Copies of this chain bind each other. A is one copy, B any other.
Amino acid sequence: MVQATVQGAQVVGRVAALLRIVSRNPKGAALVEVVRESGLTRPTVHRLLTSLAAEGLLEHDGTTGNWVLGTEALLMGSVAAARFPVEDIARPSLRRLAEETGESAFFSVRRGGETVCLLREEGPFPIRSFVLHEGVRFPLGVASAGNAIMAFLPAEEQEQILARWDDHAGTFAPTHPVALVRDNLARTHHDGYSVNPGLVLEGSWGMGAAVFDTQGKPAWALSLTGIEPRFRKDRQDFLGRFLLEEAHQITGRLHSRMT
C-alpha cells in the first residue's frame, strides 16, 4: 500500500496514501479504519491526519468523528477540472444514459493499476446499487469499467497484470479467477463493451465502455450498473450500443477540448 518510490520523501507517500483512503468515500473514514488500511501506527496516522486537517486538505467531522476531505481538496479539484473539464465532457452522456436506460451511470478514470469512479448519475429505476460511488477504486480488470479499460490496453501490458493477477486483484481474486478474467477481456475486446455478471457483488451487474485519450489509450470508462434482470442477454445489445455511442461522443469532445 505504502511504498516510497522517490527517496527522501517517505512522508509524501504516506500522506498520499492517507488522502486516498479518506477519499475512498465521501463520508470519509474513522481513524482506526485509516490505521488498518494504511498499515501505519496510530500515532503516526493521527498526527498526519491532524496536520492535513490543519492545512485544510481534510476536515474532522465533529459529529461522526470521521475524517473527510476538506475545502482545499475541493479547490484543488476545481483547478484540476479547469484542465480536464470532466464534468462538462461526461455529465451530459451520463444523464442521457441514466434517463433512457433507467440504471445508474458512472464515469471512471484509470489511475495506474486501478480505476476510480469520478462521477455518478442515478437513474430513475427504483432499485439501485450503492457498490459504486465517487472515489471507489477497483483493480484494473475488475468491474465493468476496469474490464473495459484493460481490454483495450496493449497486449503486453495486459499480460504484465495477468502474470501477477492474484496479487493485483487482492480481495477480488477469489471471485475473479484469472481464466474467467481472460475470457471476459477477450469478449470485451470483441464486442467493444464489457459485461460484469455480478462478480463484485452477487446480483449487481454492470456494463462498460472505454473512452480513449488523445494518444488513443483507454484512460476513462463509462459504465452502467443495476440488478441482474435488467442486464439479460436481450437487453445487453441495446445497452452496449448505447454505451459505445456515448463513449464515442465523449472521446470526440475530449479530443476537441485538448488540442
Residues of chain A at the chain B interface (Cβ within 8 Å)? 4-6, 8-9, 11-13, 15-16, 19-20, 23-26, 47-48, 50-52, 54-57, 68-84, 86-87, 109, 111-112, 116, 118-120, 133-135
Contact = CB atoms under 8 A, between A and B. Distances in A.
A54 B2 CA distance: 12
A24 B68 CA distance: 23
A74 B82 contact: no
Nearest to A119: B78
Contacts of A86: 74, 78
Indicate the member of A5, A80, A109, A111 with the most B CB atoms within 10 Å: A80
12 contacts: A5-B54, A12-B51, A12-B55, A13-B54, A20-B72, A26-B82, A73-B77, A74-B81, A74-B118, A75-B111, A75-B116, A77-B80
Contacts of A13: 51, 54-55
A14 to B, nearest CB: 9
Contacts of A20: 72
B56 A109 contact: no
B52 A12 contact: yes
A74 B112 CA distance: 14
Contacts of A68: 83
Contacts of A51: 4-6, 8-9, 12-13
Given A9-B47, A109-B74, A135 B79 contact: yes
B23 A76 contact: yes
B23 A118 contact: no
A50 B11 CA distance: 13
A16 B109 CA distance: 24
A9 to B, nearest CB: 3
A139 to B, nearest CB: 16
Contact of A112 (B24, B48, B56): B56
Indicate the member of A25, A47, A56, A69 with the most B CB atoms within 10 Å: A69
